[in-house]
């Protein structure tokens, strides 16, 4: 056996330690890089979320979830190559007051790039004061924009039996809010279906399965420019 001088052995041992430390440092750097890439991907995914925040008109009332216009929207986004995930936080029977209570948590949870706000119909059907409805919608718009989201406002109209004073004031409220905050506005969500019994459920208030696609066609032209601008 060849003997190795102790001094040389010590140098070799130190060299091996340095090589080991170098490999560990390289592995750590690679790991940190992968973590950062993962975090960036997660942030990008959150930034490309569309939050639909509404009531039964967006919750596929009396239908299967996949038949609703929001589910059809997700299918179209995927088919046309838009990298967005749609979250439907709509609840049947929801009012603007209930929505205002729920919205902060939804914004924090989903961090949407776009909020499609569709509320007010149940307030109107109950004849609630327009000032209250408007204030609630205004505050929700402010919360969404404060969270960094773009807002698409969906307008609603009431049946004619509510009278022109209340009904017109209700419909105009959406246009006034859109002008105040410079938002894109769908003037009337049910524009293509409301007067066609073949596309409405028996209650005369909600689209049937065949009516959900025309609802999406009403929303789509207003949403597309927002998709192009979104990060």
Active-site residue list:
56, 203, 206
24-38 burial code (b ≥16 CB/10 A, e <16): eeeeeeeeeeeeeee
Of 181, 89, 77, nearest in space to 134 by CA: 181
User: From its phi and psi, is residue 81 left (phi > 0), alpha (psi between -120 and 50) or beta?
Assistant: left
Strand order in the sheet with 114-118: 85-88, 49-54, 114-118, 150-154, 185-186
Label the pairing between strands 114-118 and 49-54. Answer: parallel
40's tokens: 């960036």
Q: How far apart are CA 8 and CA 38, in angstroms?
A: 45
Q: Are 55 and 94 in contact (CB under 8 A)?
A: yes
Longest dimension (CA), the chain: 108
Q: How far apart are CA 167 and CA 174, in angstroms?
A: 12
Helix (H, G, I), strand (E, B) or coil at 55: coil
């Amino acid at each position: 056996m060849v003997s190795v001088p102790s001094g040389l052995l010590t140098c070799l041992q130190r060299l091996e330690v340095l090589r080991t430390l170098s490999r560990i440092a390289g592995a750590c750097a690679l790991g940190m890089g992968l973590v950062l890439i993962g975090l960036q991907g997660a942030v990008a995914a959150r930034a490309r979320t569309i939050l639909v925040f509404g009531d039964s008109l967006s919750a596929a009332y009396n239908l299967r979830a996949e038949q609703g216009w929001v589910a059809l929207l997700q299918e179209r986004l995927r088919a046309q190559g838009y990298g967005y995930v749609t979250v439907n936080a709509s609840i049947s029977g929801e009012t603007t007051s209930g929505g205002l209570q729920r919205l902060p948590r939804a914004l924090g949870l989903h961090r949407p790039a776009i909020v499609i706000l569709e509320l007010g119909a149940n307030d109107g059907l109950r004849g609630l004061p327009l000032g209250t409805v408007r204030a609630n919608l205004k505050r929700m718009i402010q919360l969404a924009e404060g969270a960094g989201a773009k807002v698409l406002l969906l307008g609603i109209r009431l049946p004619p039996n509510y009278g022109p004073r209340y009904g017109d004031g209700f419909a105009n409220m959406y246009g006034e809010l859109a002008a105040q905050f410079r938002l894109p506005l769908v003037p009337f969500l049910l524009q293509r279906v409301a007067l066609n019994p073949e596309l409405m459920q028996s209650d005369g208030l909600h689209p049937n399965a065949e009516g959900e696609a025309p609802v999406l066609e009403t929303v789509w032209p207003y949403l597309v420019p927002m998709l192009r601008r979104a990060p």
